Structure 1
Amino acid sequence: MAVRWRDLDAFNHVNNSKYLSYLEEARLHWMMGVPGQGMDDHVAPVVAAAQLNYRRPITWPAEVVVELFVERLGNTSLSIGHRIVDDEDRSIVYCDGNVVMVWIDRDSGRAAELPHKVREACSR
């Protein structure tokens, strides 16, 4: 993922809010590979929590890689661990942490069972 000039703040490094955008983009790319994208007319995922540990600033120009991995697979939720690293030197970690996704029933707003296709995609 290319760091864009507009991602920078007044201190000439990537603004902390952009890290969340990078993570969102990576999760969406992953979800595109899940049949049905883990949602339908009845259930859909929502972000329930996000934990980001900012390890070092990202400056421009840069190329970063967002690594995603399953930390925990629950009945209604999924904890996705993440790392944002330098594209050329993966030992340079800019950020790590996790995001908890909960599947909800669109009608009731209550937690719904994790779709089988999502559970299957997490097992690969």
Structure 2
Amino acid sequence: MRHIYRCPLRWADMDAYGHVNNVVFLRYLEEARIDFLFRPEKDFQQGSVVARHEIDYKRQLVHRHTPVDIELWVTEIRAASFTLTYEVKDGDQIYVRASTVIVPFDFEAQRPRRITAEEKEFLLEYTDGGGGEGDGDADADQEEAVAA
């Protein structure tokens, strides 16, 4: 299953060339991620941090008054991280493909934490076929990188 966020475009998102600035797409992804993770019934209340972004710009998005769709789904779940993948699009027209590695984080202890059983169950609802669970070995490196 995919989560769909209808992202409004703002006049300030446009750059001098008349299209949405590439940097603004990171904020759009953040808005979609917050809409996905911080819903009252499925809240990652203990917190999380972004460990990595990858973004591929496919075509220009010209400013307009109608929202753009951001489809978001889970492509990997590990013991202490998960990957969200996104498409910013209108129908079949894709403007951006991106992914974000997210590490659950305990802000009180100031360190990464493992994904809880409830969080994992929630994330599994949004895997899109081939997404999967890793063995967690690479998570130790991820935890060290985030903790540094």
Normalising by structure 2, report the TM-score.
0.73
Aligned counterpart in structure 2 of residue 45 of structure 1, from 40, 44, 48: 48
Residue 69 (structure 2) aligns with:
65
Residue 32 of structure 1 is matched in structure 2 by 38
Identity value in percent: 28
Equivalenced residue count is 118
Residue matched to 1:6:
12
Taking structure 1 as the reference length, the TM-score comes to: 0.86
Cα distance per residue 1:66-88 (max 9 Å; x no partner): 000101001010100110001xx
Partner of 1:17: 23
The alignment status of 1:113 with 2:114, answered yes or no, reads: yes
Partner residue of 1:93?
A: 94
Measured against aligned partners, the alpha-carbon deviations of 1:71-106 in whole angstroms (never above 9, x if no partner) come to: 1001010100110001xxx11000002000001232
Task: Find the residue that maps to 2:8 and give its secondary structure.
Answer: coil
Q: C-alpha distance in 2, partners of 1:108/1:9?
A: 41
Aligned-partner residue type, residue 53 of structure 1: D
The equivalent position to 1:75 in structure 2, one of 74, 79, 95, is: 79
- Which stretches in structure 1 are left out of the alignment for 5+ residues? none
Name the one with the larger strand percent: 2
Q: Is the 8 A contact 1:34 1:118 kept in 2?
A: no
Paired letter, 2:93: I
RMSD: 1.6
